[in-house]
């Protein structure tokens, strides 16, 4: 399989190493100095995109128009998901997006949902969330944290979330609003903690990435799975978690 790497930072290089180790080829690399309009994608079977939120939406349309399947790991554009889904239908395209490609994180998503269901009747517990990432991460809270929060809100007393950046924000202190504390620390791949606290006890679940390999492997697995398919997919489809 010939893979185009859209974004050639630390994640792009990690994806490249894993893709090559699994017998794939890199058809081209797009970095901050090169735009997709100046690259030949004629030998590309699938593109993997990890760039910036302000570029992601443009890249999505570009690859759908070119009929090239796209795996997109950039977060911060999901308010446009309805438009993207319509575009995929119009072009008979193929797109797989995820807030996190790590197999472990996607299992953590399911654990979070189940724990939320178990905790929902016990309103004496107050939930909160902490997410910690490297200082180069542009979106806050992380896409992973938003996914966790949205899943928690769907099954609980909470109606929306409130981001507190680096503890400088103000806690909501309301029973209907879930606080997400977003911290940025150098060289932290990603940590997500969900806490339930009452006057009696405390329950906590945590996922901590040790490096970027899990994210990169998941992206390559997604690219392999996407071949020959049409539609909009997520890692749930790849891992048969539905």
C-alpha 178/C-alpha 214 separation (Å) is 28
| 96, 84 Cβ separation under 8 angstroms | no
- Is CATH 3.30.360.10 correct for 103-208? yes
pLDDT at site 54: 86
Exposure of 98 by Cβ count < 10 A (0-12 exposed, 13-18 middle, 19+ buried)? Answer: buried
Task: Report whether pLDDT(169) > 60.
Answer: no
Q: What is the pLDDT of residues 52-95, one digit of tens each?
A: 888 999 999 999 999 999 999 998 888 889 999 999 999 999 99
Q: 59 an active-site residue?
A: no
C-alpha 51/C-alpha 8 separation (Å) is 8
Q: 97 an active-site residue?
A: no
Average pLDDT over residues 112-136: 93
Q: How confident is the model at residue 7 (pLDDT cuts 50, 70, 90)?
A: very high
Closest-CA residue to 166 (of 156, 181, 187):
181
pLDDT at site 79: 86
CATH tag for 2-101+213-239 (out of 3.90.1300.10, 3.40.50.720, 3.40.1410.10, 3.20.20.70): 3.40.50.720
User: From the candidates 24, 59, 97, 137, which is the catalytic residue?
Assistant: 137
Q: How confident is the model at residue 33 (pLDDT cuts 50, 70, 90)?
A: confident
pLDDT at site 99: 86
Is-cis flag, bond preceding 58, omega within 30? no
| 205, 111 Cβ separation under 8 angstroms | yes
pLDDT at site 173: 60
Average pLDDT over residues 125-147: 87
pLDDT at site 134: 85
pLDDT at site 181: 93
Residues contacting 201, CB < 8 A, separation 6+: none
DSSP helix, strand, coil percent of the chain (3-state; round to 5): 35, 25, 40
Average pLDDT over residues 114-123: 96
pTM for this one?
Answer: 0.82
Mean pLDDT, the chain, integer: 92
User: From the candidates 133, 134, 192, 207, which is the catalytic residue?
Assistant: 133
| 143, 76 Cβ separation under 8 angstroms | yes
| 188, 134 Cβ separation under 8 angstroms | yes
C-alpha 211/C-alpha 108 separation (Å) is 17
pLDDT at site 59: 96
* Other Cβ atoms closer than 10 A to 25: 12
**In this prediction, what percent of the chain has a pLDDT beyond 90?**
77
- Which helix (DSSP H) or strand (DSSP E) does residue 104 occupy? helix 103-119
Per-residue CA distances from 124 to 55, 112, 120 (Å): 43, 18, 10
Each domain of the chain, given as residue ranges in start order, spans 2-101+213-239, 103-208
Q: What is the pLDDT of residues 181-204, one digit of tens each?
A: 999 998 888 899 999 999 999 999
pLDDT at site 168: 59
Q: Give the residue with greater pLDDT, 44 vs 32.
A: 44
Residue 93 structure tokens = 């395209």
Task: Report whether pLDDT(151) > 90.
Answer: yes
Q: Which of 132-141, 172-181, 230-239 has the highest mean pLDDT?
A: 230-239
């Amino acid at each position: 399989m010939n893979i185009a790497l859209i974004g050639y930072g630390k994640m792009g290089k990690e994806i490249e190493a894993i893709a090559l180790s699994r017998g794939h080829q890199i058809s081209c690399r797009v970095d901050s100095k090169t735009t997709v309009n100046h690259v030949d994608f004629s030998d590309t079977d699938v593109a993997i995109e990890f760039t910036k939120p302000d570029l992601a939406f443009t890249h999505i349309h570009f690859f759908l128009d070119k009929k090239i399947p796209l795996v997109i790991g950039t977060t911060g554009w999901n308010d446009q998901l309805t438009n993207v889904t319509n575009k995929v239908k119009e072009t008979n395209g193929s797109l797989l997006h995820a807030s996190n490609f790590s197999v472990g994180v996607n299992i953590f998503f399911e654990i979070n949902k189940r724990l939320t269901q178990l905790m929902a009747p016990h309103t004496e517990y107050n939930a909160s969330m902490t997410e910690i990432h490297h200082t180069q991460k542009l979106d806050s809270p992380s896409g992973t944290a938003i996914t966790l929060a949205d899943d928690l809100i769907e099954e609980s007393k909470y109606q929306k979330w409130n981001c507190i950046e680096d503890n400088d924000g103000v806690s909501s202190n309301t029973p209907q609003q879930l606080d997400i504390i977003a911290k940025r620390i150098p060289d932290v791949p990603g940590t997500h903690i969900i806490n339930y606290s009452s006057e009696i006890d405390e329950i906590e679940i945590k996922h901590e990435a040790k490096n970027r390999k899990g994210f990169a492997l998941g992206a390559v697995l997604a690219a392999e799975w996407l071949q020959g398919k049409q539609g909009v997919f997520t890692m749930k489809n790849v891992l048969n978690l539905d």
